[in-house]
Amino acid sequence: MSPSARRRTPDTGDAGEPVIEPSLGKALVALKPYLAEFPGRLSLALALLFIAKIAGVWLPQVLKNLVDALTPKDGMVLVVPAALLLAYGGFRFLNVLLGELRDLVFGKVAERAQRRAALKVFEHLHRLDLDFHLSRRTGALSRDIERGVDGISFLLRFLTFNIVPTLFEIALVAGILWQQYDVRFAVIAAISVVLYVGFSVVVTEWRTKFVREANTMDSKANTRAIDALLNYETVKYFGNERWEAARYDDSMAAWEKATSQNRQSLSALNTGQALIVAGSITAMMWLAASEVTKDAMTVGGFVAVNAYMIQLFVPLNFLGFVYREIRRALTDMQKMFGLMDRVPQVVDAAGALPPARTGSSPQVRFDDVQFAYHAARPILRGVSFTIAPGEKVAVVGASGAGKSTLARLLFRFYDPQGGAISIDGVDLKAMPQDALRALIGVVPQDTVLFNDTIEYNIAYGRPGASRAEVERAARLAHLEGFIARLPQGYDTPVGERGLKVSGGEKQRIAIARALLKDPPILILDEATSSLDSSAEAAILDALQAATERRTTLVIAHRLSTITDADRIVVLDQGRVIEQGRHPELLALGGAYAGLWNLQLREQGEAAR
């Protein structure tokens, strides 16, 4: 497939949904809280800005008087007017100085805005449901957020300090031309401004699609690069380096084409603007020169008119740049706005309160729970069972029976479509999510670690825990021997996603992390799946000790690890078909006995 065939059209997002570009009004509403945080700094910065504009507009008048004073009269050259020269230099310096002071005063506002915006997006991402995070593209997401936050900072600076002040400066220049010289000068200036602004708006609107396309391709290329690097080992296993490079180059080729179109359209815009500026200044100079020849205007006036026209088009040209960049910033912000507008599927109920008192080993109840990730494929079909306080209940069944889904529902990554789940009689939907999750510790089947040290990853179970508490959790998880053999000990980096440690070591770090959290409810989701038999035997004792005073849900694949469970629940196609202790289920000779005998045969064959 060709790059162009694979390339997404610029009017659709990553999931193919139509892109709704945010309005300037929505952007201004988003900026309001950041401006309101520092009203004093904002007022001072604006005052400095307007004083600088007035000083800048007065410069041509000083220049006019200076030229007129230096013009020979009756064949005599006058003495150089020192006061005017000093005034001219002073106004120029004041203009620059006030601009620098304005940037110093307003810098904190812009930097705080970037910080607040980034934090707001970061917190919102963590509020979004698991479905979003399972389907996201990390590379594109990070690039979209980066551009969106930069766009907010840009709009904050330029809407505040360029749009209104530039219009103010243009009005001052036009007024001076009209009052001091001739209405024709003001008319030429007005026509020039209208032509320049109209042309800039029309062409900028046309070229916005190229900016959006370039952004889309940039995000797509970044996603492919990050995806390939995160799966470095898989790429190597299958020798697909060239395949990945070709896919990345396809995206970069599409980005190159869109960027080239963007650059060409920008060149057309700049050329048209330059033509309008050149024509306007020529017309103005022609009129001024004819006035000088008629003795209706002094040479100083001629110079002042020229200076005013240049001064008129400097902010106007900058206004054109600002408008282009505002359109670009809005385009950059469109996906971030869409992200912020996305409503989580799992939300706290109005007035949700933490449970008044939850026992050290609470009761967990699944009551006729029904759930489907997609309506056409039900996962749980009326599952009911209770985990008594301090009881250890294991859930077993074939792959796809819904075992891990039970853990996700208990942790409230999703809400069931039917039935209810409760802790000590309180429905999970009536609890704040943070209060619920504080009650539960999880040892997942697929442990992903942070790209930090072993100590950091263990301490993540309870940030702020002391080194002694971290070491105790590591001992309980049988990690102390492994850590002692490492040159850097607890300060050993684990690498991105924990790739520098083995699967069994990652799982023991996850167990230590859960033990450090010390929750009243524990979920073990295939908690020993990455351990060999000897390591599994060693850690089962630790897990047994950890579950003695906790209500525990075990999602099990290896049945040998749950023979001591207080009760075993057997799932089949989303229904509970058997319940009981290990000996009882074996004696029953049903589905559990069949799974047990199958695993015994597999172990016997593997031992041969």
User: pLDDT tens, 569-582?
Assistant: 999 888 999 999 99
Residue 528: strand, helix, or coil: coil
Please tell me the predicted confidence (pLDDT) of residue 14: 41
Please tell me the predicted confidence (pLDDT) of residue 418: 92
Please tell me the predicted confidence (pLDDT) of residue 10: 36
Same domain membership, residue 562 and residue 475: yes
Please tell me the predicted confidence (pLDDT) of residue 577: 93
Same domain membership, residue 465 and residue 523: yes
Same domain membership, residue 431 and residue 306: no
The helix (H) or strand (E) run that includes residue 368 is strand 364-374
Number of domains into which the chain is organized: 2
Please tell me the predicted confidence (pLDDT) of residue 129: 67
3-state SS record for 556-574: CCCHHHHCCCCEEEEEECC
Please tell me the predicted confidence (pLDDT) of residue 409: 92
Same domain membership, residue 373 and residue 320: no
Last residue of a domain, one of 341, 374, 390: 341
The helix (H) or strand (E) run that includes residue 583 is helix 582-588
Same domain membership, residue 168 and residue 118: yes
Same domain membership, residue 376 and residue 331: no
Domain assignment present for residue 12? The answer is: no
Same domain membership, residue 260 and residue 115: yes
Instruction: Tell me the C-alpha distance between 224 and 216, whole Å.
Output: 12
Low-confidence ranges of the chain (pLDDT < 70): 1-28, 30, 34, 59, 61-85, 88, 91, 129-140, 143, 159-164, 233, 237, 315-320, 324, 356-359, 497, 527-539, 541-542, 545-546, 603-608
Same domain membership, residue 529 and residue 403: yes
Same domain membership, residue 530 and residue 430: yes
Strands, E assignment, 139-203: none
Same domain membership, residue 104 and residue 62: yes
Please tell me the predicted confidence (pLDDT) of residue 7: 34
Instruction: Tell me the C-alpha distance between 365 and 421, whole Å.
Output: 6
Please tell me the predicted confidence (pLDDT) of residue 495: 79
Statement: the pTM of the whole predicted model exceeds 0.95: no
Tokens encoding 390:
């301090």
238: exposed, middle or buried (Cβ count in 10 Å: 0-12, 13-18, 19+)? exposed
Same domain membership, residue 396 and residue 314: no
Could you list the residue range(s) of the whole structural domain that residue 435 is in?
364-607
